[in-house]
Structure formats: structure tokens, C-alpha cells
Amino acid sequence: MKKTNGGAEGPRTVIHSVHKSLRLLKYIASAEREVGIAELQRQFGFSSSTIHHLLQTLMLEGFVSQNTATKKYEIGPEFLYMTMAHKHFEKFFARALPILGEIREETGETTILFIQSGVEAVAVLGQESAKTIRARLRIGRKIPLHCTATGKTFLAYLPEETVKNILVVTGLPGYEKNTITSEEELFAELARIRRRGFAFEFDEYEDMINALGFPVFNAEGKIFAAVCVVGPSGRLTGEAMEAMGPGIRSQVDRISTVLASPYY
């Protein structure tokens, strides 16, 4: 074991075997396919025997499963049980509420944090605009991915193969006059979002509603949430969104930092 500086909380003890096990588990959970020992050895530099013993421990507790045919590994049933048991995601994301409030005050518009749920995005929490004419905050609301600022933000930072698999399920149905219904056009839009750092929505899902979408990244640099600023198109114009986008992006980067930190 070694001691490391724990910041404001003081020193903390790091148990190497636990640290290694969690690194393996995070890698396996984020992989889009089964993972073999050789791949884990290349990724982390641990010996094959160390990896084998750590995986056996994780299997014993149900966090990892092994395919008996390929001898490779995937997440286990305990992962699912714990996810189903912990449905109150807002408890974790609540630490982002003060920053969402700052964005709402500066823009005057409803600001919402979404997570991806399969082929949709789900509103977890947010701050509603105080203006009389405003976009409503509806916690638990599900929205499509291809035609919303939030959804396009998720798609822009997912692997292309994952995006194509989502489109096989959902297709590209048209909702409003500006909905993207061409796969080629959608992928061009996703590339623009990555270059710009945030997404626009112009009357694409709901009439007279515009929005901006911003990625929230985890400690590994992967998207795991998105922040949306949404309002009536008469007020949230293209010019207005162009002007406010970079500043909001900086604030959302703060949310990424707050949510990725072990301290809050």
C-alpha cells in the first residue's frame, strides 16, 4: 500500500489490488465488445497472472462474467442489479445544480441536464426559466437523439459504429421542417458539432423551439451526460446562440470537472 495526498481531506491509503481491479472493471464496462486477458495486459501492463486473479475475484462477486467459449470477459449481473437498485440519478447530478442555475441566470433560458438511455435522452434535473414564455422543465422526459441539440451532442461524441446501430433502431423520422432525415447530412452535422464544441437545434423537434447542447465528459474523456439550454426561437435566435455558446461551454466544462471529482 502507499499513501497519497488526498487534498482537503488529508492523506488516504491506496490499496493497489483494489485500484487495479477497478481499472479493469471500468475498462470492461466501457468496452463495446468482450475483452480478453491479452488486451487488458496491453492496456495496463499488468502480468497475465495478476489480471487473471483480479478477474476471478470480480467474477466471484458478480461484477464480471466470462464467455466459456471465447474465454473473454464482459460485465456481470451484479452491475445490472446495482444499476436497477440505484435509480435516483439526480442525487449524483445534484452537485451540478448550482452551475446549471448560473447558466439559467446568464441566459435567461431553461437549462437541463440529460443522460442517454438507450436510443433516447432523459431529463434528469435542471433549472427552469423565470420568463413567462419559456420551455418547460419536465424531469423524466425522453427525447430523440437525431433531432435535438442534446441528442446530437451525444451522437457527436459516440463511436460511429454505435451511432449507426442507434439509427438502425430509430431511423431518421421527420418531426419539423428542419429535422435532419439524411444519414449523410447527420454525420456532417456531428462533425461540425465536434469542431465547434456544442450543438444547435433550430425548429427540428418542436415548432418555435431552439436549443444548444453541450457535452459533459467523465474522467476518461467520454461523454456521459449533456447540458441543454432551450427556449423559444424568437428569443433564442441563431445569433444569440452563436454569441452565448462559448461561455456556456466553459461553464459546462466546470460541470464535467465537478462530476468527475471524488470531492464535491
Which tens digit of pLDDT belongs to each residue from 182-203? 999 999 999 999 999 999 999 9
Place of cell 441528442: 151
pLDDT above 50: residue 156: yes
In 3-state terms the chain splits into helix, strand, coil percentages (rounded to 5) of 45, 20, 35
Report which of 176, 206, 172, 169 is spatially closest to residue 189, judged by C-alpha positions: 172
Q: How is residue 135 annotated by DSSP?
A: P
Query: Cell numbers at residue 262, please?
Result: 471524488
**SS3 call for 122:** strand
Residues contacting residue 69 through CB under 8 Å, at least 6 positions apart: none
Average confidence (pLDDT) over 157-173 = 94
Q: Are 73 and 55 in contact (CB under 8 A)?
A: yes
Domain boundary among 33, 56, 84: 84
pLDDT above 80: residue 103: yes
Q: How is residue 136 annotated by DSSP?
A: P
Using a cut of 0.85, tell me whether the model's pTM lies above it: no
Average confidence (pLDDT) over 166-176 = 95
Distance CA 90, CA 195 (A): 30
Question: Is residue 254 domain-shared with residue 135, that is, in the same domain?
Answer: yes
Q: How is residue 221 annotated by DSSP?
A: S
List pLDDT tens digits, range 232-251: 999 999 999 999 999 999 99
Question: Is residue 27 domain-shared with residue 134, that is, in the same domain?
Answer: no
- Its domain, for residue 60, covers 2-84
Name the range with the highest mean pLDDT among 57-71, 117-131, 198-212. Answer: 198-212
pLDDT above 80: residue 112: yes
Number of domains, the chain: 2
Q: Are 58 and 25 in contact (CB under 8 A)?
A: yes
pLDDT above 50: residue 58: yes
pLDDT above 50: residue 262: yes
Domain boundary among 84, 109, 126: 84
pLDDT above 50: residue 6: no
Question: Is residue 242 domain-shared with residue 184, that is, in the same domain?
Answer: yes
Report which of 111, 115, 82, 114 is spatially closest to residue 99, judged by C-alpha positions: 111
Question: Is residue 97 domain-shared with residue 78, that is, in the same domain?
Answer: no
